Amino acid sequence: MTLRRDARHGLRIARAEFRRSLRAYSRDWRRLVGLGVSVLFFGGYLLFSLPAAFVLGRTARSVEAIPFLGPAGTLLPLGLVGIATFRTLERIGSAEGEALLLTTVHPRAVVIGLIGAELGRLAAWFGVPIAALVIAFAVGLGTPVVLLTAALVAIPLLAWSAVWGYAVGLALLRVFRWLPTFRRVLKVLGVAALIAVVLGSQAVGQLLAEGSISVGGVLAAITVGPLTEYVALAALGTPLQRPPTLAAVAVFVGLVAAVPIGLAVATRQASALWFGDVPADGVTSQATGREGGLSVPRPFAAAKSGRIAWRHLVRAVRKPQEFSHLVMVVFFLGPIGTTAVQGSSGALGPLAAGVGVGLGAYLAGGTFGLNPLGDDRPQFPLLLLSGTDATTLVRGRLAAGVALGLPFALGLPAVGVALGLRPVRAVAFGALGAGSVLAAAAFALGLGAAYPIYEEREFWGTETVVPSTLVMLVYLAVVGIGTAIALIGTWFLLTGGLVPTPVFGVVAGIYLLFTAGVSYGSYRYAIRRYRNYHLE
């Protein structure tokens, strides 16, 4: 097979894969709704950014006058390689119809096709807004040459990052295949690193606000000179141009030369991954491993729904990667959490109790309730033959969520007693936590049943189904706001800030009735969706 023929076949594969992605969106109204929400959300930022790019083009007199050019020129290549690596782990580690493709064309053509399709998808998502910003900057600068030079600078960078990110991703998939323990450890470290980055960014922001460190020092620390010089080549032929340096030319030559080398490395990695045998030790350990967790403990063994709940909990321990969506809460609690801890003024007991109530409510519904039909679909043939009714199945998921959330909702208020919280207030927070856990678990079941996701996707080498991002955002908003209102009202009532008047009783009663009604209605809706699925 010649390189020209492989390139031609690869372009056909890329076109077919890209069209398949478009058809997957156009045939699913849920994806279209999510796409519309994303366009509305990010389109607002783009509308505000276009005038800023135009003004920057009108006022800039040199490349150095462009703000954040150095850090952007350094972080952009690293970010692109990281995106390409994770997309390989998540989605394009293998092709659709892999067996047919590998018996028809050379693996290099498949690699070219997968990388080309992914570049097309990324260009559709990020290329359009970036191109709009560059066009606005070019209009402000008064010359269209910057469009051509920016493309000439971006193409080698994108090709290099896509090829080497794909090669690194395939290498990690091979490591995960041979060392399953390393994959589990890396997942734990990845979650810990994400939490550290979110919390660390808050600490850095506070230090910047206090003046302990300077913005210029932080930007200088993350700036690599040769990469900045290479990005500055986009100003050639414009009023902002400066003579190209030897470092910029060296980076350009290195990027161009690294693309065919990376393609050869990625092809070898792909051939070893697709044609290599699965390690016998991993298969043996999976087939002959101990069947732990089959005995159901007494609290769960009392009813059939309890036994189902225990199975969900056991599966959560065995396959924690199925609950990677829970990490999303870090992005919401990170900015609030550090501020709350710093402003608590030693009141760690009430803070611990409030965190326990919120975290318990979040886990109760977010773990097992946000995609019940999608999670159970692989087992639906068995469930249909088991004779278990829909109410028992839904109650099993509800009980599993409650069993997971209650230890946090009850345990952290108890820990708050050791941190200075009064026992009576701890009991009140515990009661509030128990009610919040039950309400959140029931509400999540109805919300997840209304917007199920059935398609599996490869996440870090494991096929799994995760809830929709739109469902996660709605759940976080409703449960977060509802729990915050309950916590604030309970705290002011316990500290004397609120007097229990008849008006307060009416408002509290309406709030409780509304919460209970929405949760119970969601629970009944989930049961009905399960029954309708049984009838299909």
**Residue 110 DSSP SS3:** helix
Q: Where on the phi/psi map is residue 142: left (φ > 0), alpha (ψ -120 to 50), or beta?
A: left
What would the pLDDT profile of 349-377 be if each residue is shown by its tens digit?
A: 888 888 899 989 999 999 999 988 888 87
Flag whether pLDDT at 181 surpasses 90: no
Task: Say what the pLDDT of residue 404 is.
Answer: 92
Tokens of residue 75, six digits: 């972080």
* Confidence class for position 130, pLDDT limits 50, 70, 90: confident
CB 85, CB 162: distance < 8 Å? no
What would the pLDDT profile of 224-251 be if each residue is shown by its tens digit?
A: 778 888 888 888 888 887 888 888 889 8
pLDDT, the chain, mean: 80
CB 366, CB 325: distance < 8 Å? yes
Flag whether pLDDT at 276 surpasses 80: no
Tell if the pTM clears 0.85, that is, is over it.
no
Q: State the DSSP H helix or E strand holding residue 231, giving kind and residue range, or none if neither.
A: helix 225-231
Task: Say what the pLDDT of residue 285 is.
Answer: 41
Flag whether pLDDT at 343 surpasses 60: no
Residues composing the chain:
536
Task: Report the distance separating Cα 334 and Cα 61, nearest Å.
Answer: 39
Strands (E), 431-524: 457-459, 462-464
CB 144, CB 131: distance < 8 Å? no
In 3D space, the residue among 359, 533, 362 whose CA is nearest the CA of residue 452 turns out to be 533
Task: Say what the pLDDT of residue 280 is.
Answer: 54
Task: Report the distance separating Cα 263 and Cα 112, nearest Å.
Answer: 8
Flag whether pLDDT at 282 surpasses 50: no
The Cα-based distances of 114 to 7, 90, 495 in angstroms read 12, 13, 61
34-48, 155-169, 439-453, 481-495: least confident range: 34-48
* Confidence class for position 517, pLDDT limits 50, 70, 90: very high
* Confidence class for position 431, pLDDT limits 50, 70, 90: very high
Q: What is the mean pLDDT of residues 456-466?
A: 61
